[in-house]
Amino acid sequence: MAQLSSPQREVILALIEIYEQKKSFVKSKEIAMKIGKGEGTIRNMMPILRSLGLIESIPGPRGGYIPTSKAYESFSIPKHLKILKIPIYKKNGENTGIIVTDIFFKSVYSPDFCQAVIKTVGDISKLNLGEEIIIGPTLFGRMVIEGKIIGRDEIHEELLIDIINVISIPRENVKNIMSKRLVTLKADMSIKEAAAIMYKEFIRAAPIIENDSLIGLLTSSDIARCLSEGKIDITVKEAASRKPVIINLNEDVLEAMNKMRKSSIGRLIVVDDEGKPIGIVTRTDLLYRMIKPFEIIESKK
């Protein structure tokens, strides 16, 4: 690698330090404030540092810079954040069984044109050109990348994608985004009664409580299935098709996302430290929390 100038070394070290603290993309403004230089000076250095393989970047309000493994190695800093074993999902949520071992962003300086080379392990032949995939969330960067496959190299196990969207998952406890208004159903209640309650409350699922314990979850699909089978007199306990998936109120939203994806569901029952249900968190709640900061930024412009 070419010898770095003193200012370039200063920028890389500042980038590493800030990245280790926030575990997400770093803005040029943050680096400038850290080392006391102008933001324009920092931006002018970045194309050179990227050509040397020391940084990766994404344009736009959601993007920024992250140091590469090569940057850590250049300064003999242990690299604990290397991107490894990131899952790839199809747009419908199906896990492809393929994992990502590295991501290289290309053409990042055009906000309307961004591509990435995805190094993988697994059978990428089952992924078709033009197919949309979801990569992530990354273990430490907490990114989810949505993209369309435009190239596939099965020999080198690489995918080339057009990036559609990059979402940074905030560090937030589930209790801060859950709905505290939890509508519950009694286990011996008829599905007709339950249907009336769910219609009135405008909800698609409700937890079932028996002797103050959570024993099940009734969904609108369960009600539709029972009615189609002529089972109109059974209780909600008999009608429920699955056990509810729970999450502690102090868990991170990233864990909530992982649980929903693994179980192919769109909601989790939130419980306190004693296991008592106190709320519900849905996929919509998670998505709203992820886009809310960017909506605020846009509204201020």
**pLDDT tens, position by position, 51-70:** 888 888 877 777 788 888 78
Contact 140, 222 (CB under 8 A): no
Note the pTM of the prediction, 2 decimals. Answer: 0.53
Distance (Å, whole) CA 272 – CA 180: 12
Q: Is the pLDDT of residue 265 over 70?
A: yes
Which carries the bigger pLDDT value, residue 173 or residue 102? 173
* pLDDT number for residue 82: 44
Q: What is the mean pLDDT of residues 102-117?
A: 66
- E strands present in the chain: 55-58, 64-67, 86-90, 95-110, 113-121, 132-135, 143-153, 158-168, 185-186, 205-210, 213-219, 246-248, 267-271, 277-282
* pLDDT number for residue 22: 74
Q: What is the CATH number of domain 174-290?
A: 3.10.580.10
Which carries the bigger pLDDT value, residue 284 or residue 275? 275
Average pLDDT, the chain: 81
Q: Is the pLDDT of residue 112 over 60?
A: no
Paired sense of beta strands 55-58 and 64-67, if any: antiparallel
| 38, burial (CB in 10 Å: exposed 0-12, middle 13-18, buried 19+) | exposed
Taking Cα atoms as reference points, which of 185, 187, 170, 142 lies closest to residue 280? 185
Considering the domain delimited by 6-74, tell me its CATH architecture.
Orthogonal Bundle (1.10)
Paired sense of beta strands 132-135 and 185-186, if any: unpaired
